[in-house]
Amino acid sequence: MKIQILVCLFCFSLSIAAQEDSVRSSESNIAVVSADNLKVVYRGVLNPISISVPNCKTFTASGIGLSRKSEGKYSLSPGQGLFSIIKLNIELNNGSKIIEEYKFR
């Protein structure tokens, strides 16, 4: 019982001290990348990630440990380092191309 209480307190403290879902690298982002039900991503766990890019022709998402599960749904298993980076290559309907990066702690 004591272990369960300690685990709950530990998880609660992580949720309080966690950063936002994503950190934007530029001011003109058009995509939405979010960690489902999480504030941070954890090593050793498949973290569910949702990616949506409205009004685009195509996009590809890449990153170390990122794998596609279904349309708009991915999982991220972070490697070493302080951050996991997801890179999006986006082709808009007008043919222009944009690259966006999202950092998760």
CATH number at 58 reads 2.60.40
| Distances, alpha carbon 68 to alpha carbons 33, 61, 92, in Å | 13, 9, 21
pLDDT at position 52 over 90: yes
Percentage with pLDDT > 70 across the chain: 70
pLDDT given at position 22: 40
- Mean pLDDT over 52-63 rounds to 93
Work out how many domains the chain is built from and give that number. 1
pLDDT given at position 4: 64
The pTM score is 0.66
CB-based contact 105:41 (threshold 8 Å): yes
Q: What is the mean pLDDT of the chain?
A: 80
Q: Which domain holds residue 49?
A: 2-104
